[in-house]
Chain A
């Protein structure tokens, strides 16, 4: 496989994941609209036609696997290309984010694995699979994502690890979002400046959007579900009043 083909695959699979994190962040922000909003959104995703649902999952998983696989191949070649390092190792203009893509990427890989077993497979805290984590919504029994997220982030260590990992995501994106265009040849001097700025902005938006939820839980802006008394419909009304 040629060096450039590896770069293209890195950029294209990265592009898929860059788009995914934005949609994921928007979904997470539903937490601020009360239990029904996020539970309904989660239910909508879970009940998408099987083909669409698994299509998304397989595309994302394949992107992740190819991205990591290419990273391993590229890093191996890069290390082999400089067997003896400089005694003075300096950088003239390479950004910190660009120099730490391997570190930030490795943290993100561990985070993604943990995150999937935590909230998707729900095997890290098996109590998330119990009946207590189901709720009624418009006469249907749906999974109570709201309760699970609040329970998850109420553990301070989970929130801290989460925020640190999102900082790595921010750094990774700050280089990646501009770099992927360069790898595909879709950049020039004018667009480099614009895309570099956009990448940093994108990293920060994603970072702040994601960490808003654990911070909201820890500061009780996002209230535990028990504070919503009565039927879920009433809970929504209370929450709407609160936000006014």
Chain B
């Protein structure tokens, strides 16, 4: 396959970036998207040029490191697929492919296609955990979890924190990510005791990071490689409202 690439190049967060054009000939249709970029980088290195920086780790669709917006769609045209699991056979011979980083103020570009997703860590530190006693592991059947709730929590827990939801949202909102974490932990008996404190803290962390606001476009749901549904945003909205009402009517501390 012959491919024309238009790739965002940016030296650092403070410098201005611009697109650069490259042409690759003889790319295998069985190559993954990241392998195609590896081929480009080998070519650039051979020409003594600066290779394109892009994030990757597991290359099997579970680590959430790749952050490529391909022809305007985070992770590219295939549904429920990360960029590393996307193969070149989904593109046409001679096609021009535009590759950009995630674009959101809380995710500044570190270099080229690499963005800093630290605000997701801040959201997790605010409430994405269950406070438990340490010690011997508890007996497996001591806390029964109904099957539908276990399934629902597992679906929400499938979030790999890649940030495609933020990248796809026209408002750069992180509500699918935060909703997934809130729904996962708030639905299980182990997470329930801290339900109210968690949702309030995580929404606060999300707001202070400077993400936009959800307008129910459902673009996030369409690009999520783990197909997390808008249901988790509805649950976050519901849990936050109930937490705030309980907080408002809480008995005064003496």
Contact indicator A3/B203 (Cβ below 8 Å): yes
What is the 8 Å Cβ interface bit string for chain B, positions 204-232, against chain A (1 contact, 0 not)?
A: 10110011111111110111000001110
- The answer to whether A81 and B100 touch across the interface, beta carbons within 8 angstroms, is no
- The contact size tier of chain B is 35 or more
- Cα A92 to Cα B220 in complex, Å, equals 9
Is B168 at the interface (CB under 8 A from chain A)?
A: yes
| Residues 138-186 (chain B) with a chain A CB within 8 angstroms | 168, 170-173, 175
Q: Which residues of B contact A80 (CB under 8 A)?
A: 105, 210, 212
The answer on a CB contact under 8 Å between B172 and A183 is no
Q: Judge whether B98 is part of the interface by a CB distance below 8 angstroms.
A: yes
Give complex CA distance A165, B206 in Å: 37
Q: Is the CB of B215 within 8 A of A101?
A: yes
B203, B204, B217, B238: most-surrounded residue (chain A CB, <10 A): B217
Q: Which residues of B contact A5 (CB under 8 A)?
A: 244
The main secondary structure of chain B at its interface with chain A is mixed
Q: How far is the CA of A77 from the CA of B208 in the complex (A)?
A: 11
Which single member of A4, A82, A86, A175 contacts B105 (CB below 8 Å)? A82
- The docked-state distance in angstroms from the alpha carbon of A85 to that of B72 is 10
Known contacts A182-B233, A183-B216, A188-B234; is-contact A82 B104 (Cβ 8 Å): yes
B42-56 vs A, CB cutoff 8 Å, 1 = contact: the mask equals 000000000000000
Q: Is A99 in contact with chain B by the CB < 8 A criterion? A: yes
Q: Which of A171-197 contact B (CB under 8 A)?
A: 175, 178-179, 182-189, 192
Among A78, A86, A90, A98, find the residue whose CB has the most chain B CB atoms closer than 10 A: A86
Complexed CA–CA distance, A182 and B203 (Å): 16
Give the B-binding residues of A (Cβ under 8 A): 2-8, 74, 77-78, 80-95, 98-99, 101, 175, 178-179, 182-189, 192
The count of A-to-B residue pairs whose CB atoms sit within 8 angstroms is: 132
6 interchain residue pairs of minimum CB distance: A185-B238, A88-B72, A81-B212, A185-B237, A78-B171, A94-B217
A-B contact list, 10 entries, CB within 8 Å: A4-B240, A78-B171, A81-B104, A81-B173, A81-B210, A82-B104, A88-B72, A90-B71, A94-B170, A185-B235
Complex formed: what's the CA distance from A95 to B215 in Å?
A: 11
Task: Return B214 CB to nearest CB of chain A, in Å.
Answer: 7
Q: Which of B73, B105, B213 contacts A3 (CB 8 A)?
A: B213
Determine if B188 is an interface residue (Cβ-Cβ < 8 Å): no
Instruction: Report yes or no: B72 in contact with A86, Cβ–Cβ below 8 A.
Output: yes
Kindly identify which residue among B214, B221, B231 contacts A7, using a CB–CB cutoff of 8 Å.
Answer: B214
Contact check, B240 vs A92: say whether CB atoms are below 8 A apart: no
Chain A proximity of B139: nearest CB distance (Å): 33
In contact, A78 and B172 (Cβ under 8 angstroms): yes
Chain A residues with Cβ under 8 A from B218's Cβ?
93-94, 98
